[in-house]
Every structure is written in C-alpha cells, then in structure tokens.
Structure 1
Amino acid sequence: MRDGAAAWFGVRLEPLSAAHVPGLTAVTHDGELWRNRLTSVPEPDRVAGYVAAALAAQERGERVPFAVLDDDTGEVIGCTSYAEILPAVRRLEIGYTWYAGRAQRTHVNTSAKLLLLAHAFDVLGYRTVGWRTDNLNTTSQRAIERLGAQRDGVIRGQQLRRDGTVRDTVLYSLTGDEWPPCRDRLIGRLAEHSAGEPSSSGGDSGTRPGGARRVPESGN
C-alpha cells in the first residue's frame, strides 16, 4: 500500500504527496481543526510544511503517511500514517490522523482503519498495532476503543500540547491474535450501516468501495 492506493467501503488511502496539499488545506478549514489544542492539525498556511515533514520522515523510514479520500468523489477528507515502526518486534502505530469536520463521526475512520489494520497484519505480517492519544481527548479514546483496541496504560507528562500545557498520553494496542474477530466485527458494523445505501459502483459494499455513510466515531 506504500506504493499504491487501496479502497474499501467508500474510502480510499493514497500515499501522501505534495499534490494533496490543496485538499488537506481545505480539510483544515472544515471545522477549523487547528484551533483544537488536543490535536496536531496544522494551521492552513502550514499544511505544505506538515506534508513536507511527513515525507521527510518517510524517507528516514520513520513514518508511512497517507491521504484519505472519498472514493466516490476523489475529494481529500483527511490524512493518517503508520508511525513508530519497529520491524524487529513487528510493531507499528497508527497516528497523525485527522479528518474534515464533515467526515467525523461517520464511517470514514472505521473504513480507513480497516485498510490500515488489514495491511499491517495480513500483508506486512506485523504482530502489534498501537495508538496513542491525549488523555483529555475522550473522543479519540472512544474511537480507538470502538475499533477493539485494548488500553495499555498512561505515560504521564509525556509531551507539550500546542498551547504549552503538558499532556499525559494514553496508549492502546491490538495484537495479531485479536485482529481476526476485530476485523469481522468492524466489517459487520460497516455492512450493517451501509445496508440500503447504494454504492456508486453497484453491488455489495463489503467487497468493493461503496456506500457506508453513518458509523458514529472519529479519532486517531
């Protein structure tokens, strides 16, 4: 997936590039995401630098960033990444995730995470996928927990927020043994919520990109 796009349930992931800067700039305006002190969403005039930093981290082998698109319209609706990649122990994290306001609390996060988790476990053969989030960001914590991840603990005083306050960081993980039932549950949830909403390509949205539209959640 690093070298090509992947899509499922109406959401497409593409390797991040400078071509996504205009779309991501528009995303930051949808809900004025950069004003939330609990996130690392860049201000609109800093999106190009944010993307450049993500691509530089990719060159160093530290991160694999993706743009998240609506597969029906091709519109950029967010971004996400693999990060904290530890090949020796077959562990990585999913982070740097943010979505346009209109895409939050919809199917988008579940669909994108299914693509990322399936690739990490089923293609790359990783054993553990982790997440980390601000202890005050309860919306993100609920979204991660809805995916089936287990709360591992809290690192106190771990980093500064954008407003200069010190945050505690909540850690979550999902193991390869936990992945199969998690995958089936999430696919079932998306299929249930997509029932009765036609895909633009026709057919079953569980086997090709399609019409799931309302699964309440958002987050990392």
Structure 2
Amino acid sequence: MKAIAPITLELHGIRLEPLAPHHAEGLRAAATDGELWNLRVTSVPEPDKVEQYIFKAIEMRPSRFAFAVIDAASGTVLGTTSYHDVLPEVSRVEIGYTWYAKRCQRSHVNTTCKLLLLAHAFDTLGCALVGLRTDNFNHASQNAIERLGAKKDGVLRHHALRRDGTVRDTVMYSITRGEWPEIAAHLRYKLAQRPIERVPAEGTPC
C-alpha cells in the first residue's frame, strides 16, 4: 500500500480537497443546515467548535486524512469525510467521519464521495481492504453502507463514547480488493441512473 498524501479528487461536480482552516466558515454553515450537532449518533461539531474539529483532524495525520466536500461549481462546503485508521502494514484504511449538510442528504453527493475514495484507495493506494463503521442506532448510515455493497463484519459491543456520555456499539463493514470491481460497477451504474443535479444552495429546503 502506498502512503496517503494530500490529494484533490473530483467527479460529478463534487470535489474532495484536504480539510484546512480556511474551510471553517463553510463547514460551520454545513453543520448549521439541519443543526446536525444535535444528532445523537453522529459527531458533527457545534458551530463554535468547528475550528477545533479541523485542527484535531489535521493533527491526526497520518492515521487520518480528512477532506472537505465541496460543490465544485460554487465552491460551497457541503460537509466532510475522511480516510482513518490507516494501517499501511496490512494495506487497510477505513472511510468515516462523514457528514453532509441536510440539503445534500439522499442526493448523489454521498455515492460520488464514496466512489472517489474507494477508487483512490483500491486503484491508486493499492489497499487490500477498506472498512466502514457506524453507530448501532444510526440505521440510515447502516443502510447507506449496505447499499454500497459492503459486507457486515460484525458488531463491537460497548465500543465508543457518544457525545451524550452513553456508550455505543459499533457496526463494522468492509470491502475487499476482490469485491471492488463489482462494487465500482454498481456505484457507477447507480450514478448513471439518476441525473446529477446541482446541489441546492444554502437555505434551500430539502
């Protein structure tokens, strides 16, 4: 597996670029769309903690590489996603820390981001496996991961603290290198079956 280096990826009007301090205002606006920090099963930062969130993500390199998700046409920040738990010795990474402004959910944005990150992981970095994980009560996230074609590995019981102080079970998924060609074809087919619409502007209801 090659070392992960800062890189910009783009497809279908969505650009992933390394998360940096200058994304703070845009990321704050994305989190505010839906007041996502109030969701119990995610780790979206409160508006006054966005800068801290970005700096922590940068400090976690090389075990985590965070991206800002950008609408390429307008330059608007739509959310963020990351490679994390990077294990070069076994050619494994995970994709997570993913969240988007509410108006972008159930759009082509997540499928596009996953296709970009998975393709880069398998086809460029040479990963043997890409993992994904989510809260046991985040059923929307589990459904989205399963729609990608990832296989459920199991559940880590009593695994991590939530923001409200309760302890979550973590549902683990993965995709192997051998499974990737079929999943890549499936994701490209899904994107081809739906029009790639412009992301709604800030303040536009879902």
Residue 55 (str. 1) matches residue 58 (str. 2):
yes
Verify the 8 A CA contact 1:9 1:212 in the aligned structure 2.
Answer: no
Q: Structure 1 counterpart of 2:48, which letter?
A: D
Shift of 1:213: 6.1
Give a deviation string over 1:37-64, Cα, whole Å, max 9, x none.
1001010000000000000111xx1111
Counterpart residue number, 1:208: none
Large movers: runs of 4+ above 6 Å:
none
1:164 and 1:4 map into 2 onto residues whose CA distance is 35
Query: CA RMSD, aligned part only?
Result: 1.3
Q: How does 1:120-131 map to 2 (within 5 A)?
A: 120-131=121-132
% identical aligned pairs? 56
Give a deviation string over 1:51-81, Cα, whole Å, max 9, x none.
00000111xx111110001122111001010
The count of corresponding residues between Structure 1 and Structure 2 is 196
1:156 and 1:192 map into 2 onto residues whose CA distance is 38
Unaligned stretches of 5+ residues in structure 1 = 195-210, 215-220
Q: How does 1:146-157 map to 2 (within 5 A)?
A: 146-157=147-158
Q: Structure 1 counterpart of 2:142, which letter?
A: Q
Of 4, 7, 15, 2:7 maps to: 4
TM-score scaled by length of structure 2: 0.92
Unaligned stretches of 5+ residues in structure 2 = 200-206
Change (3 A) 1:67 1:74: same
Change (3 A) 1:212 1:179: farther
Shift of 1:89: 0.6
Shift of 1:159: 1.2
Counterpart residue number, 2:202: none
Counterpart residue number, 1:144: 145
Residue 75 (str. 1) matches residue 84 (str. 2):
no
Verify the 8 A CA contact 1:2 1:15 in the aligned structure 2.
Answer: no
Give a deviation string over 1:189-220, Cα, whole Å, max 9, x none.
101102xxxxxxxxxxxxxxxx3569xxxxxx
Shift of 1:165: 1.2
Give a deviation string over 1:166-186, Cα, whole Å, max 9, x none.
110000000000000100111
1:53 alignment partner, SS class: helix
2:137 and 2:7 map into 1 onto residues whose CA distance is 35
Counterpart residue number, 1:108: 109
Counterpart residue number, 1:36: 39
Shift of 1:4: 3.2
1:102 alignment partner, SS class: helix
Change (3 A) 1:166 1:152: same
Give a deviation string over 1:1-36, Cα, whole Å, max 9, x none.
843321111211001110101100101100000000
1:162 alignment partner, SS class: coil
Counterpart residue number, 1:199: none
Verify the 8 A CA contact 1:9 1:190 in the aligned structure 2.
Answer: no
Of 14, 19, 24, 1:21 maps to: 24
1:13 alignment partner, SS class: strand
1:4 and 1:63 map into 2 onto residues whose CA distance is 13
Q: Structure 1 counterpart of 2:163, which letter?
A: R
TM-score scaled by length of structure 1: 0.86
1:47 and 1:103 map into 2 onto residues whose CA distance is 19
Verify the 8 A CA contact 1:68 1:80 in the aligned structure 2.
Answer: yes
1:72 and 1:45 map into 2 onto residues whose CA distance is 27
Verify the 8 A CA contact 1:193 1:213 in the aligned structure 2.
Answer: no
